[in-house]
Chain A
Amino acid sequence: AQKITQTQPGMFVQEKEAVTLDCTYDTSDQSYGLFWYKQPSSGEMIFLIYQGSYDEQNATEGRYSLNFQKARKSANLVISASQLGDSAMYFCAMREGVYNFNKFYFGSGTKLNVKP
């Protein structure tokens, strides 16, 4: 089974609107971490936001927030007030467990296009 599933290969959003990028995960571990990365066309993977499995509050970083629904195993990224510079690939990732915690699993990504 896929560890991380991103079901939206591509999305469009109008500038200044909010957008939600979906991510579901699969793990039987109680301790895990969830991450979102942005990858512009230049290729660099930029860390955006982190949510720990024991964190009770949803993580927020500026215009980014992570909608963490543990029972549903979902960790959706919400970008508020989209900007043209938000156009990029977005990857959801998970680091699971305490053992072998060095391994990160990535989803297939969502390509976001922000329209002026």
Chain B
Amino acid sequence: QQQVKQSPQSLIVQKGGISIINCAYENTAFDYFPWYQQFPGKGPALLIAIRPDVSEKKEGRFTISFNKSAKQFSLHIMDSQPGDSATYFCAASVSGNTPLVFGKGTRLSVIA
């Protein structure tokens, strides 16, 4: 059973547009929701994370929106740039309990 379902699998966005990646989860005990960014040939790196006590967190052009009742969270990349082209992974965990579980990833291509 996949604990975190991520969509879409791939995404092509025009430069300056908004990229949106969605994740859904089943385990209501999850209380930490990070997003990781991975460039080709590199390991994933933490981009931004949220806990369920807030509905939105923004860092620069990157925003996480969190909907606890729907058990969904999403990553929005505003003013997308070619340098944002990478694979993005959502993840979730339970504090003091479970290791991070990852979604299957979204390959984002930002074209000029």
Do the two chains belong together in a single complex? no
Residues of B within 8 A of A (CB): none
Chain A residues engaging chain B, CB cutoff 8 angstroms: none
